[in-house]
Amino acid sequence: MKKKIFLAGVGGMLGEAFYLEFSKDYELYCTDKDVNEKWLHHLDFCEKDNYKFEVKKFNPDYLFHIGAFTDLEYCERHKVQTVKTNTDSVITAVEISNNLKIPLLYISTAGIFDGTKEFYDEKDLPKPIGVYASTKYEAEKYVVNNCKKYLICRAGWMMGGGPKKDKKFVQKIIKQIKEGKKELFVVNDKFGTPTYTFDFAKNTKKLLESNKYGLFNMVCEGKTSRLEVTKEIINILNLQDKIKINQVNSSYFSKTFFAERPNSENLINSELDKIGLNLMRPWKETLREYINKYYLDYI
């Protein structure tokens, strides 16, 4: 008989990869407050009693708490809602996990560091610098200190979901190209480690199936910058002669992207390496796969 997983907040970019990877071998109950797929059921995980009720009813072997508010500017403007969504709901998830005696998966982020170091591994102490980062780190700490059996996987710059779901950098660049822009303005002072949703979902699956628990950085191989990612997108799309990139620093976008972001969000997967379970591929390889899979018909 297949093991059962209850997934909360899987209507977004990462959720899609989790659904596609895990549905092959597990019985899933996928939920989100935005029911944008036929495989999703409605659940607002901030509604504590409903969350508890629905998970208990499904009687799963694992609880995956995936969703969050991920728009940094929205989080800055809606602090109370963000605390409820990104921290308080995770406290509920821990309670459910402990009561039902099932492991909890929580997704954390490279964004919880202040960006003053070049690289961060699992031993480095986070120092969040904005509402999104603080609420995610509070949740991470709560899981570590209170959950009896947990897996925390930290992602970096998420790539996945395609035109329908990707709200992040790759989609923002490709959208401008689709709109016919011949000149792009790209920051040259932000560094990070891209994270392809499908590699992340596969690596999480491998960890669970190896019965490994704890805290793991889980990003693609190789550090890079927003600028280099943009150059690579243009290479992959063969648009080197058609699009000009203008380098700017972050202050150029300070009105639109007013939430402070760390200069470095580079993670190293030290713990995955240590146990020989680092399946994350080089970011350029996964970016190419991502674009070929989702964007060739879109452009």
Ligand X SMILES: NC(=O)c1ccc[n+]([C@@H]2O[C@H](COP(=O)([O-])OP(=O)(O)OC[C@H]3O[C@@H](n4cnc5c(N)ncnc54)[C@H](OP(=O)(O)O)[C@@H]3O)[C@@H](O)[C@H]2O)c1
**Angle at CA 15, nearest 5°, toward 236 and 79?**
105
Q: What is the CA radius of gyration of the chain?
A: 19
Phi and psi angles of residue 80, each rounded to the nearest 5 degrees, phi first:
-65, -45
Of 105, 31, 27, 106, which Cα lies nearest the Cα of 59?
27
Counting contacts by CB under 6 A, is residue 109 touching ligand X?
yes
Q: How far is the CB of 32 from ligand X (least distance, A)?
A: 4
Binding mask 215-244 for ligand X (x = CB under 6 A): ------------------------------
The one among 2, 41, 56, 167 contacting ligand X by CB under 6 A: 167
Counting contacts by CB under 6 A, is residue 14 touching ligand X?
yes
Tell me which residue has tokens 């997934």. Answer: 7
Q: Which residue is nearest to ligand X (CB)?
A: 12
Stretch that binds ligand X, among 62-70, 114-122, 143-151, 183-191 (CB under 6 A): 62-70
* Of residues 158 and 234, the one with the C-beta less far from ligand X: 158
Counting contacts by CB under 6 A, is residue 209 touching ligand X?
no
Phi and psi angles of residue 284, each rounded to the nearest 5 degrees, phi first:
-65, -40
Strand-pairing partners, residue 154, are 108, 217
Q: How far is residue 124's CA from residue 143's CA, in Å, rounded to a whole number?
A: 17
The one among 2, 3, 20, 34 contacting ligand X by CB under 6 A: 34
Buried (b) or exposed (e) across 121-159, using 16+ Cβ within 10 A?
A: ebeeebebbbbbbbbbbbbbebbeeebeebbbbbbbbbb
Counting contacts by CB under 6 A, is residue 158 touching ligand X?
yes
The one among 5, 7, 13, 83 contacting ligand X by CB under 6 A: 13
Counting contacts by CB under 6 A, is residue 203 touching ligand X?
no
* Of residues 2 and 167, the one with the C-beta less far from ligand X: 167
Stretch that binds ligand X, among 64-72, 96-104, 229-237, 273-281 (CB under 6 A): 64-72
Cα distances from 98 to residues 56, 106, 128, 187, 263, in angstroms, run 12, 14, 27, 44, 37
Counting contacts by CB under 6 A, is residue 44 touching ligand X?
yes
Stretch that binds ligand X, among 68-76, 207-215, 232-240, 267-275 (CB under 6 A): 68-76
* Of residues 43 and 187, the one with the C-beta less far from ligand X: 43
Please, is 116 exposed, middle or buried when counting C-beta atoms within 10 Å of its C-beta (0-12, 13-18, 19+)?
Answer: exposed
Provide the binding-site residues for ligand X, judged by CB under 6 A: 9, 11-15, 32-34, 43-46, 66-70, 85, 107, 109, 136, 155, 157-158, 165, 167-168
